[in-house]
Chains A and B, each alone.
Chain A
Amino acid sequence: RKEVEQDPGPFNVPEGATVAFNCTYSNSASQSFFWYRQDCRKEPKLLMSVYSSGNEDGRFTAQLNRASQYISLLIRDSKLSDSATYLCVVAGGGADGLTFGKGTHLIIQP
């Protein structure tokens, strides 16, 4: 079983729509959770950390369900510039490093 699983997509979504991504993780000891975005041939960039209580940053909302080992990202009012690969990331703490999913490819269409 893969440690972090994501639907690779691509998700083709019209501009202005709401889109949601999900991710599941296998290590129940995971303590830290993040979403990164990665543009083609560029480095991953931190989008947001994910907290147990859920958190929102503008058009982006992240939720964590520890019982189901499930993380979600919701993007409202999607923009053309949101087109990217979204990487779900979990970590066990300390020096374990980050465990990345393969990413979900999002294409926003005009």
Chain B
Amino acid sequence: ETGVTQSPTHLIKTRGQQVTLRCSSQSGHNTVSWYQQALGQGPQFIFQYYREEENGRGNFPPRFSGLQFPNYSSELNVNALELDDSALYLCASSRPGTEKMNTEAFFGQGTRLTVV
């Protein structure tokens, strides 16, 4: 058990709708990052939050947005859902790294999103 929890575990949405996924980080971890994992692929970095601000972003469009709260929990919001957004969405928490080093990241069990 990593102590990272995500909700919901499964979700079905219709194309064009909006979705919010939630994540509680492991105790002592103040950095949260989100990943998208399509079937048969490795996880792809969406963005990272530290001290309630986005401080890193992967190659995802602006309709993917997020929040981090004072208790370090986080949300991932996706607007205007597309069929290709169907994937496992993973949240990871970690201690903050340095400019040159990433610390170990621990993942929640993920939210499996299906867009129909």
Contact = CB atoms under 8 A, between A and B. Distances in A.
Interface residues of B, number: 30
A100 B42 contact: yes
Nearest to A85: B42
B109 A43 contact: yes
A97 B58 contact: yes
B104 A103 contact: no
A8 B115 CA distance: 27
Interface in B36-95: 40-45, 47-48, 50, 55-56, 58, 90, 92
Contact of A97 (B33, B100, B107): B33
Contacts of B90: 43-44
A20 interface: no
Contact of A102 (B35, B42, B102): B42
Given A43-B90, A43-B110, A95-B48, A87 B102 contact: no
Closest 10 CB pairs of A and B: A95-B56, A100-B42, A97-B45, A91-B102, A93-B100, A43-B107, A32-B102, A95-B55, A94-B99, A31-B100
Interface of A: 4, 31-32, 34, 42-46, 49, 87, 91-103
Interface of B: 2, 33, 35, 40-45, 47-48, 50, 55-56, 58, 90, 92, 97-102, 104-110
